[in-house]
Homo-oligomer: A and B are copies of this chain.
Amino acid sequence: MTTSPHAYGKTGIWLIGARGSVATTATVGLAAISAGLAEATGCVTEQEHFGGVALPNFADFVVGGHDISDVCMAKRAEALVESGMLPLHLVESVRPQLVEADQRVRPGYNPAQKSESQAEVARRLAKDILDFKDSNRLERVIVLDVASTEAPVQPIAEFTDAHLLLTALEDPARSVLPPSSVSAYAAALAGSPYVCFTPSTAFNVPALRELAARHHVPTAGQDGKTGQTWLRSVLAPAFAARGLRVLSWAGTNLLGGGDGATLADPQAVSGKLQSKNRGLQELTGGAVTPLHIDNVQDLGETKVAWDHVNVEGFLGSRLTLQTTWSAYDSMLAAPMVLDLSRLMALAHAAGEEGHVGALGFFFKDPWGSDEHSFANQTHNLLEWAKNASATLGTGTGSLDQQ
């Protein structure tokens, strides 16, 4: 494991959606890796060429979070064992750590049960984060949104006027922001770096971004690029580098689990579909890109994605590429959650503020960057991480950075 020359102290990981599949898997994995029971396969930051980058050790992380579900992490982990995704022995070995982490989970913002103003909610959520920081003596807390995908929202006047927005937020009769945005705001209020791993609205509200900017935290997003979209961001630039012209790129996703159930809702899925297609459109210069997501519960935690690419080559000839991807979705997401926690700790320590574009590597719809090519993103990520590391002090610890 990377040992860092920079003294990070202890770092908190605050998961919005802490009892979900991705969050539980990340927590199991973190405990297993810290205990030396598993290697950090799938963690980008564990690769050799990240050797010179100053990052917190896995063992120095503490997990907590928000959720609106009553099913505790240990129960969720058992269900993931049942589905064949998590190995039983590993979950058994880290059960104490799971139980501990779950005791740090606080009730999230459930708009169905709302009575306070959204500003009060945000302050309550921020207080949860700060309490977590204090009681665990953490240098900083990285907040990551891994909650259920929300439906996209219609923009209103408040979204572009910070003053109007503030007023509306204080009004207990109104609910102008979707939950993801309230949580993102809470992170800013708590002075925490914030990562949006979902396609939900979050900071895609200009006025909210303006409010958040006052808290000088780094942010990264959006929507983890784990499977099919990742593959597309690898392949599409390669076709272009060969001078081949993608005419159409049609795709289908089959998935079960909690995410599958959520995305069965046509409202919720529309945000995901947009997020998935945006990069491909850019990388292909506007090919025909029909895309579907189907909820197929008998697949359990497995996601299967099929792509059919029709390409024009020399003298108008055609070539086709088909890909079939089959993976446990959360197993791809969880190591990224750990990578992002480490890299956001670095960003924070290095004094970054606002969207960290170089973390676009991890996202379908990168905040602060227009780069969708995975090869270029790979290059940019490492450059950024090395530069950020170089700005850190080494001896005196991360306290100086705060």
Contacts and interface: CB of A to CB of B under 8 A. Distances in A.
Q: How many copies of this chain does the complex contain? A: 4
Looking at A86, A314, A374, which has the most chain B CB atoms within 10 Å of its CB? A314
A322 interface: yes
A328 interface: yes
Interface string A241-273: 111110110101010000000000000000000
Nearest to A319: B327
B314 A331 contact: yes
Interface stretch (A41-49, A54-62, A160-168, A178-186): A41-49
Interface stretch (A105-113, A143-151, A195-203, A287-295): A287-295
Interface stretch (A7-15, A204-212, A305-313, A346-354): A305-313
A46 B245 CA distance: 12
Interface in A281-324: 288, 290, 292, 294-299, 304, 306, 308, 310, 312-324
A72 interface: no
Contact of A250 (B254, B290, B313, B378): B254
B87 A315 contact: yes
Contacts of A374: 238, 241
A268 B294 CA distance: 21
A88 interface: yes
Contacts of A96: none
A245 B39 CA distance: 11
A318 B28 CA distance: 17
A53 interface: no
A374 B32 CA distance: 35
Contact of A243 (B47, B313, B316): B47
Contact of A306 (B28, B295, B306, B378): B306
Contacts of A234: 234-235, 238
Contacts of A316: 38, 41, 87
A297 B247 CA distance: 9
A245 B321 contact: no
A315 B90 contact: yes
Contacts of A378: 238, 241, 375
A334 interface: yes
Given A313-B332, A331-B315, A334-B314, A306 B241 contact: no
Contacts of A331: 313-315, 317, 319
A328 B323 contact: no
B328 A243 contact: no
Interface in A14-58: 25, 28-29, 32, 38, 40-44, 46-47
Contacts of A317: 85, 327-328, 331
Given A47-B243, A252-B250, A299-B310, A328 B319 contact: yes
A335 interface: yes
B250 A294 contact: yes
Contacts of A44: 241-243
A213 interface: no
Contacts of A325: 319-321
Nearest to A304: B308
Contacts of A308: 254, 304, 306
B314 A335 contact: yes
B323 A322 contact: yes
A252 B322 CA distance: 13
A326 interface: yes
Nearest to A253: B250
9 smallest CB-CB distances across A and B, nearest first, come from A375-B375, A319-B327, A247-B298, A290-B294, A42-B314, A317-B331, A234-B238, A322-B324, A252-B252
5 contacts: A42-B243, A47-B240, A243-B335, A313-B327, A319-B328
